[in-house]
Amino acid sequence: MRVVIDRYVPYLQGVLEPFCSVDYLSPEAITADAVRDADALIIRTRTRANKALLEHSSVRFIATATIGFDHLDESYLREHGITYCSCPGCNAQAVCDYVEEALPPDARSIGIVGVGHVGSLVKQMAERKGLQVLVSDPPKGLHDDVTEADVITFHTPLTKEGLYPTYHLCDAAFLSRCKPSALIINAARGGVVDEQALLGSGRPFVLDCWEGEPDINNAVLAQARMASYHIAGYSVQGKRNASQTCLDALTGFFGLPQLTIMPDDGVRGDSAPGWLKRITTKLKAHPEDFERLRKNYKLR
């Protein structure tokens, strides 16, 4: 059995080798040729699991070490009998911590769009801080009362179909109903927020997820109050949760023994107050290095 793993998914090297052949590849190296004779993939958002990658391959199982799964062509995978899974909730606390770091000190109310794993934690955090909390869950309809908040933060998957698609959920019409001073935060998925509408609205915003990343819009970046390179969920615990979830799903699918990810090395990145402002400075100075900065980010 052969497994291809994105080399930036941590804590897995050496774990599966007693049972199968493993190749650790950079995202750009995970190509149709590279996976042709693979049985399983463990990937991240940089790899699109679709016909172009998987046609004529022997892949039977895909795990993505992420909450989001819009990089998986679910229709294609289902039609071809390929089992797949993501890691919902694995980094929820890390994203909540990101939102807390992004909150302005004078905020009195927060509107939370999407109250799943992350949104629920954000709600609890905001209530502890004494903020008025307004919530809206897109599957149940988008409620306009969230537009009355001082801060509006999005925590939905990115979907373009179904009864309640979230693509450009935050568009010009939505923004027109918000307070002129409302701070918009997107630490969900690029595309949930219409960046051009955001740019034209004149409202302050904080972005971790971008349309078209890693090739981000420099005009949007320049206007952002704070900005980061899609690392809101990049904490040690979040990564460990995701890696173990992927490993459990893979071993279960192939009938392998239960395995445990590698130990944590104890190294931590910058999490002192003001860490998001320091990231913003780095990204604004070198927007062309979005992917390099993301790859080299030390987990909080």
Which residues are known catalytic residues?
189, 213, 230
* Residue 289 DSSP label: G
Whether 300 and 270 have beta carbons less than 8 Å apart is answered as yes
Edge-to-edge order in the sheet of strand 205-207: 132-136, 109-113, 151-154, 183-186, 205-207, 226-227
Whether 49 and 28 have beta carbons less than 8 Å apart is answered as no
Pinpoint the alpha helices (H) of 192-235: 195-201, 218-223
Whether 56 and 50 have beta carbons less than 8 Å apart is answered as no
Q: If you write DSSP's letter for every residue of 49-104 in order, what string do you get?
A: BSHHHHTT----EEEESSS--TTB-HHHHHHTT-EEE--TTTTHHHHHHHHHHHS-
For residue 191, give both structure tokens. Answer: 């595309």
Encoded amino acid at 272, one letter: A
* Residue 292 DSSP label: H
Q: Is the peptide bond before 18 cis (omega within 30 degrees of 0)?
A: no
The secondary structure element, H or E, covering residue 205 is strand 205-207
The number of beta carbons lying within 10 Å of the beta carbon of residue 261 is 22
Spatial distance between the Cα atoms of 277 and 224, rounded to a whole number of angstroms:
11
